[in-house]
Chain A
Amino acid sequence: MSEMQASGPKEYLRFSRVNRVLHIVMIVSFISLAMTGMTLKFSYTGWAAAMSHLMGGYESAGFVHRLAATAMILAFIVHLGDLIHRKRTEFGSWKKLLFGPDTMLPTKKDLRDVVGSVKWFLGKGPRPQYGRWTYWEKFDYFAVFWGMMVIGSTGLTLWFPEFFTRFMPGEFLNVATIVHSDEALLATGFIFTIHFFNTHLRPEKFPMDTVVFTGRMSVEELKMDKPAEYEELVRTGRLEQYLVDPYPPVVIKAARAFGWTALAIGFSIVLWILYAMIFAYR
């Protein structure tokens, strides 16, 4: 990393390298899954046939879908492995990891933040002092967790129907199809709209927040965005620990280009879904 250093003040390192890589893997595999899956779900639109064709026909689209699914499952496993690793090195116990101040689990503060946020939205209170993980970030995280379970399990059922019908009725394949595709619709819809808004279209972040790619954010931004975390870091004197040199502009540009590409594809998929559901629904 040292040779990539650029001059400038140190920045706060929000995401570890593992997490950044996993997010990129997630983006690539998720978009691949969405694109290939939606062609099947909305196969009655001309768009779908064209997309399928673009991806080298149905068979290669199916291959890409399964390949991306494997990648995503691997990412999931690596994430779990990373948790175990960090439990050992950083936290020492599951209790500290799960119930410490930086937990991903919902806490009472999150409930207060939700209420505070609504008040703030309505102009009836100040912006809540968000911590390291805001409630919507936690929601996103568990939405993905839930989605992985639901889509992954039904996807495997559809991938290996002959195996799964050894112990479940054939009709479950139909149910699995519906659950798989509708949960996928929910996931793509959510990620490509709500999640995108939270990270890109939110005016104070516009046009792009590259923190998830670079892992870095300015201390100023940290102070404004996550005041509670900042204060905690300052209070415990751990801030210095997380300060690193910023990436040179070329890395930022690359991250931004990648982000915009993903964003464009995501929005196209959303438009396609809307078109398919509103104008071509059967």
Chain B
Amino acid sequence: MIIAHSSRAGLRGRTCATAAALVWLSVVSLPVTAVGQENDECLMCHSDVTLTGTRKGRTVSVYVDPKKVALSVHASVQCVACHADLEGKELPHEAPVARTVCTPCHDAEQELHKASLHGRAIERGDPLAPYCNDCHGSHDILPVRDHRSTVAPIRIPYVCGKCHREGAPVQRQRQIHQSNILENYSESIHGEGLLKKGLAVSATCASCHTAHSILPHTDARSSIARRNIVGTCTVCHVEIEAVHRKVIRGELWEKEANVLPACVDCHQPHKARKVFYDQGMSDADCMRCHEDPAIRSSKDGRSLTVRLSEVKGSRHTRISCSQCHAEVNASRRRACETITHGVDCSSCHAEVAQQYQRSMHGLLLAKGDTNAPSCIECHGTHAVLGRADPPSKTFPTNVPELCARCHREGNKAAVRYQGTERDVVEHYTESIHGKGLLKSGLTVTATCSDCHTAHSVLPRADSASSVNRANIPETCGRCHHGIEEQFLMSVHGRPDGSSGKERPVCSDCHSAHTIRRADTDGFKLDIMQKCGRCHEAIAATYFDTYHGKVSQLGYTKTAKCYDCHGAHDILPVAEPRSHLSRENVVATCQRCHPGATRRFAGYLTHATHHDPDKYPYLFYAFWGMTGLLVVTFVFSGIHTALWFPRALKLRRERMRGEAAAEPPPAGANGEEKADE
């Protein structure tokens, strides 16, 4: 057995396990040398299958199967080592024999057992109290590691279940606070793992209650005492903080363990499952009162009626009342009378709550601004729905109206706001995003919360704001990613910062709330003003040339800034990838002028005739023409000016002549008639 055992351990390649096994075996084999009575002598009688004795007045078989003994962990232990009372006795011995002793080999376990519920029951003389052999067996004891052992993890529920199963004497006659223990366990995630999936690492009864030191949860030393339960669970669930950080902030696990709920407060003992919490403070308890349509707050008279159907159809359908309305005390008749605070959503939605607290909404609420929205203003209360749910207030098509409740012009937030963005709701509704969302019903269209975020709403001056200048490309890029990529490579977007000038972001050209399609006339004509805000001189000279003049008349098909320079991928002309680089400029012209050549591309799209150094041809052509014009007008002007009084005189003379003539001339034409 020793050889077999150690070789098996060795085969596993676990040297430490081997060492441990050897130590253990050397301990259990100590009595071998100490005792004189040989097992063979005992077996002379006890190997007889028919051998019987009496125990508690009943005739029982006292047959000992030598094969089983030989296979057990105690194969090399003398019979009298356990049957200590028979040591040195004459054989055949008297019957009955005393109870076997596990000391001195298993002293430690014995001590624990003695102090445990089971041990004390023995002490009390409780006939139902379990002794070592009730769990471990007698002559056929196998090591725990052997899955055939009665105390192998996989078999523990059966061992414990002998007494603790429903209907067993212990369960019926002793005070056991839990019921249906085995059934619940077998359906729990632990029981499922162990019994259905055969996972020997799943928690068994002994994992939580310990093997020998079983104590009631009221005992401070108990593994299931409230203060120890976290320690017990974390033996297996070592990363529990990480898993629960949304519920409980990490440092509290150590600092304020006393205020934290214990694991079992949420994960019911014996019933721990991934889906949870129908138990505990039951909703039915709350509904006893809150079903009443007349129930009102004694403080402010508001209705406290809860329609359970609302909750059941909501996002929180599996959440019980007491999870949100914490601080309830199940031991009070009115469990809710211990409630001192309102619902704190952050106990589950920690991350979102943290964002909210840093947001403008959260800051205002913290300052005591009564207009500041808390969670329920946007999400509602019992009927809270997920944002993917069309009837939800936070469903994309409902978001603008939701925000408009405060941010529409004239409403409280719009009154408070002093910035330049006015009529945001109306503007948004008319914008490409608003039309996409509300007219075309595209739920992927940007709503208020897509740009401003849902919970981290901050004014744009705040560097952490999603609509801060520095963050706008990223914010827009969440949907317009391809554009963002182009933009970040462009002279406007890339971080060389050589000019030191503030460079434009999306909203400078596209605006914030009045975003139009880029193929609308309005946008096309407006863009030149937008570019011209920074590129003043070059925009002015653009308007001096054909494209600029035509576009000023409202003609959008002509080349605008972005037709030549690109929109989001603008690069300096010197860069090969620029639309206007030597390599690309002809192709750029050809987009509108199919027959364009390199000479054609020599047309000056930004020329001015006011610069003799840069554009001498234009300068001299202009002044040559102007000179011609001035000279012509001066000469002809003088000529006419001199002529005029003389012509006037001539007219008077002629009219006098006509009047003097006796018969009015027969050929007098209409002009003269008109004059008369």
Identify the A interface with B (CB < 8 A). Answer: 8-9, 11, 39-41, 43-44, 48-49, 52-53, 57-59, 61, 117-118, 120-123, 127, 136, 158, 161-163, 165-166, 168-175, 177-179, 182-183, 185-186, 189-190, 193-194, 197-198, 202-210, 218-220, 224, 246, 249, 252-253, 256, 282
Do residues B602 and A182 form an inter-chain contact, with CB atoms below 8 A? no
Q: In this assembly, does B276 line the interface, its C-beta being within 8 Å of a C-beta of chain A?
A: no
Closest residue of A by beta carbon distance from B602: A170
Question: Interface code B595-632, partner A: CB below 8 Å = 1, 0 otherwise?
Answer: 11101111110010100000101100110011011001
User: B549 and A40: CB pair below 8 A?
Assistant: yes
Q: Which residues from chain A contact B646 at a C-beta distance below 8 Å?
A: 120-121, 123, 127
Contact A186 B553 (CB under 8 A): no
Contact assessment for A169 and B599 in the assembled complex, using a CB-CB cutoff below 8 Å: yes
1/0 contact string of B635-648 vs chain A (CB within 8 Å): 01101101111111
B330 to chain A, nearest CB (A): 78
Residue contact A165 to B603, C-beta cutoff 8 Å: yes
**A189 contacts B550, C-beta separation under 8 Å:** no
Q: Does any Cβ of A come within 8 Å of B36's Cβ? A: no
Q: Which residues of B contact A39 (CB under 8 A)?
A: 553
Q: Which secondary structure characterizes the binding site on chain B?
A: helix
Rounded to whole Å, the gap between the CB of B109 and the closest CB of chain A is: 101
Which residues in A have their C-beta under 8 angstroms from that of B596? 162, 165
Cβ–Cβ < 8 Å partners of B395 in chain A:
none
B666 contacts the other chain (Cβ, under 8 Å)? yes
Whole-angstrom distance from the CB of B488 to the nearest CB of chain A?
33
Give which listed residue, B599, B629, B640, B671, contacts A197 with CB less than 8 A. Answer: B640
The CA-CA distance from A166 to B271 in the complex, in Å, is 89
Closest residue of B by beta carbon distance from A122: B642
Interface pairs (18), CB distance under 8 Å: A8-B667, A9-B667, A40-B550, A43-B549, A49-B554, A52-B553, A52-B554, A58-B554, A61-B553, A182-B625, A183-B628, A190-B633, A197-B644, A202-B644, A203-B644, A203-B648, A204-B651, A218-B669
With A8-B666, A178-B625 in contact, do A58 and B550 touch (Cβ < 8 Å)?
A: yes
> How many chain B residues touch the partner (CB < 8 A)?
58
Complex CA–CA separation, A259 to B220 (angstroms):
118
- 0/1 interface trace, chain B 649-674, chain A, CB 8 Å (1 if under): 01100100000000001110111001
Q: Does B584 contact A (CB under 8 A)?
A: no
Is the Cβ of B609 less than 8 Å from the Cβ of A194? no
Q: Which of B609, B629, B643 contacts A189 (CB 8 A)?
A: B629
B158 beta carbon closer than 8 Å to chain A: no
- Is A43's CB under 8 angstroms from B654's CB? no
Is there contact, CB below 8 Å, between B621 and A189?
no
> In terms of DSSP, what is the predominant structure of the interface of chain A?
helix
**Residue contact B553 to A58, C-beta cutoff 8 Å:** yes
Does B412 belong to the interface (CB within 8 Å)? no
Q: Which 10 A-B pairs have the closest CB atoms?
A: A170-B602, A182-B625, A162-B595, A58-B555, A121-B642, A170-B603, A165-B600, A203-B651, A43-B552, A43-B549
- Interface status of B478 (Cβ within 8 A of chain A): no
Given contacts A162-B593, A162-B596, A185-B629, whether A178 and B621 have CB atoms under 8 Å apart is yes
CB distance from B610 to the nearest CB of A (A): 10
Contact between chains at B647 and A162 (CB < 8 Å): no
Among candidates A40, A177, A185, residue contacting B553 with C-beta atoms closer than 8 Å: A40
Determine if B100 is an interface residue (Cβ-Cβ < 8 Å): no
Q: Are B609 and A178 in contact (CB under 8 A)?
A: yes
